[in-house]
Chain A
Amino acid sequence: MYRYDDRDRAILNDRVAQFRGQTQRYLAGELSEEQFLVLRLQNGLYIQRLAPMLRIAVPYGLLNSTQLRRLARISRDYDKGYAHFTTRQNLQFNWPHLEDVPDILAELAEVEMHAVQTSGNCIRNTTSDPFAGIAPDEIADPRPYCELIRQWSSFHPEFAFLPRKFKIAVSGSQQDRAAIRVHDIGVQITKRDSDLGFQILVGGGQGRTPVIAETIRDFLPEADLLPYLEAIVRVYNRLGRRDNKYKARIKILVKALGPEEFGRRVEEEWQQGKDGAEKLTPQALQWARSFFTAPAYKTFDGSASEAALQQQAEGDRAFARWLERNTYCHRVAGYRAIKLSTKPTGVPPGDVTDRQLDAIADLADAFSFGEARVTHDQNVVLADVEQGRLYALWQQARQHGFATPNIGTLTDMICCPGGDYCSLANAKSIPVAEAIQRRFDDMDYLYDLGDLNLNISGCMNACGHHHVGHIGILGVDKKGQEFYQIQLGGSAANDASLARVLGPSFSRAEVPEVIGKILDLYVQQRRTAESFLDTYKRIGLQPFKESVYAKAG
């Protein structure tokens, strides 16, 4: 992974000192509420319903065990002993004291971490594929580019006060696992002949006006990445609306101008700065790549280790299930990637305790070269596990509550903090997740349903990605009461699409039953091996509507 040198450290320490000064000025009454708001948000600090909330940046989701242990310690010493993995591969603390934040940042800086630009109207943490570097379908490792983008965008003097927040995601694989089509900029690594380059998409996003991004360039040569991104953000900074925060995202600008015209303006801007200093030199690319080399893999006979694994699976049904759902192909023979599930029934999705953070660090050290990755579905990946040691890993993961074999199923839901923590919520979302987990607790049934993304947001800001869930649940407010709207047919993958509203909303108590009816219809209608999403695409919304809203009797 990327390691800081003295210059990164100097920049980060300057930031810690700067934020300490800002906090002191605020506490002394020298900074207004409004001014401090902007400054603290650029440092990931929200003031929430119950306490401040601090969002820590995890660049493209990658963490080492030292960092994990430090996060565990911070959650113990400054918080209530737990933390929360977010859909943007970051980590949040829900109960820090404002006065302690500078000290927390100093603790983070010691392990090369920070909270820079995790919120606010600036370029946020760049996200990527949690299987970067090991996925068999990878065209090229996205992480060196993510790191270059991280450096370019950190404290960017021109772009710290954009019209609105700005999110970039990079995918290096054929399968998009970074949801690039619902980001302000999506970067898809691609090849033309043998040259590496990027397909550039702009104007995607969720929130109250969800939009799927449009391609403005099919192939951008590798060296041009940063000048091109700079051109996009510059056009947006100048032309994006600033009169209405709901219309300030780049997606609104791209819609208003049309993607062709927007793309034309970007090209024009880019032509002027194309060969400027940010153009990536071969040395720079090589330097960035040097941080993401393959670890010291052993050589295995793939088929022998596969056979041994099958034998273990046959002997232990619980292990077999976990193997089936929670492990992934690796491009090196004899290795697999695994996902630790943070979603056993009754735990808010993405929540981990300080001990679990320490346990992830231990597992990473013991099984995966000391590294882990946060995923956009709020789980954790260990990327480089020897097949022969999966059984041992599974047993340990189980002791720490991480081995629920539900990855990719209905109960592996994405869920925002909702009304339990968030001051913007219309409704609670964590209890809805739990009610659904309780009702659908039969693993065989979940496996039979197959891959299913259920996403829950407590309001239209869409932090829980309800627009792109195969099934989306949105908390709405009706005359001061909490209701839930159901949506179907969304996807954040290559076939990205926005879910459509099923019909009038339901009370919280009704939600599990409604989900049950939707699933019943799917099971009844599906063709062999057809996924929920495919069935939905084939038969459309209407049959689901009829079945859910049918009058009893």
Chain B
Amino acid sequence: MPKPAKPGPQPGNPSELIIDGEILPNQWRLLAQTAAGESPDIPAAGKVILPLRQWQAQRRALTARSDEIGVWLDSDEGAESIGAAAAQCPLIAVHFPAFADGRGFTTGRLLRERFGFKGELRAVGGFMRDQLTYLRRCGFNAYAFEGDEPLASLHDSLHDFSDSYQAGVDQPLPLFRRRL
């Protein structure tokens, strides 16, 4: 899959985030990507979110900690790179290197609708407030904003729209089916 020309900034670790409509402290530590082949520095305890490659390499070794091992996907890493294993994951983060890179919307939707992911689906990186409704409709329930806008002012945007035309994760029936 095509990468963006310039690799975007790696996602960070804001101290608070919006989860299921509430502002909560961030309990997970997201590890930035390491160069190919390097073994990652995984903390001995606590909840961590691993880059896809590390997750693929370490998953089995960490089975005992599976409740505290999440994975994050870059925008060019589609939902099928986790596939059916998604159903067992406690958390998947999807990286938006820039708000205009909309691949993560498709990733979120497929994780929920095709691969049965039930855990926390977290948007990380450079998305913006005005995308919250779309993110929510694509199955995201957690939003790790990195800017300095106060979270309390952002989460109203989760419901910019009271209804929708097409099917989404939040509303499995398109309006034309609900109308009749």
Contacts and interface: CB of A to CB of B under 8 A. Distances in A.
Given A272-B114, A277-B173, A287-B180, A11 B105 contact: no
Interface string B97-139: 0011111011001000010000000000000101101110110
Interface string A31-53: 00001001100000000000000
Given A276-B167, A284-B180, A155 B161 contact: yes
A156 interface: yes
A337 B130 CA distance: 44
A161 interface: yes
Interface in A269-288: 272, 276-278, 280-281, 283-284, 287-288
A156 B177 CA distance: 16
B133 A157 contact: yes
A237 interface: yes
B160 A7 contact: no
Contacts of B99: 35, 38, 161
A505 B44 CA distance: 70
Interface stretch (B2-10, B19-27, B33-41, B52-60): B2-10
Contacts of B12: none
Contact of A152 (B137, B172, B174): B174
Contacts of B179: 5, 7, 287
Contacts of A287: 176, 179-180
B164 interface: yes
Interface stretch (A66-74, A239-247, A427-435, A507-515): A239-247
Interface string B67-108: 000000000001000000000000000000001111101100
A23 B2 CA distance: 34
A159 B131 CA distance: 11
A281 B177 CA distance: 8
A14 B160 contact: yes
B52 to A, nearest CB: 15
A284 B176 contact: yes
A38 B167 contact: no
B162 interface: yes
Nearest to B171: A277
Chain A contact patch, size range: 35 or more
B42 interface: no
B105 A7 contact: no
A281 B174 CA distance: 11
Contacts of B164: 11, 155, 157
Given A38-B100, A155-B161, A272-B114, A243 B5 contact: yes
A22 B165 contact: no
Contact of A148 (B5, B138, B176, B180): B176
A278 B167 contact: yes
B166 interface: yes
B14 interface: no
Contacts of B78: 238
Contacts of A284: 176-177, 180
B161 A288 contact: no
Contacts of A243: 2-5
Given A14-B162, A239-B2, A284-B176, A161 B100 contact: yes
A7 B175 contact: yes
Contact of A244 (B5, B133, B162, B166): B5
Given A39-B130, A158-B138, A288 B165 contact: no
Nearest to A18: B160
A355 interface: no
Nearest to A17: B160
Given A39-B130, A237-B106, A277-B172, A242 B101 contact: yes
B42 to A, nearest CB: 29
5 contacts: A10-B163, A15-B161, A151-B176, A243-B5, A244-B5
Interface of B: 1-5, 78, 99-103, 105-106, 109, 114, 128, 130-131, 133-135, 137-138, 149, 160-168, 172-177, 179-180
Interface of A: 5, 7, 10-11, 14-15, 17-18, 22, 30, 35, 38-39, 121, 148, 151-163, 226, 234, 237-244, 272, 276-278, 280-281, 283-284, 287-288
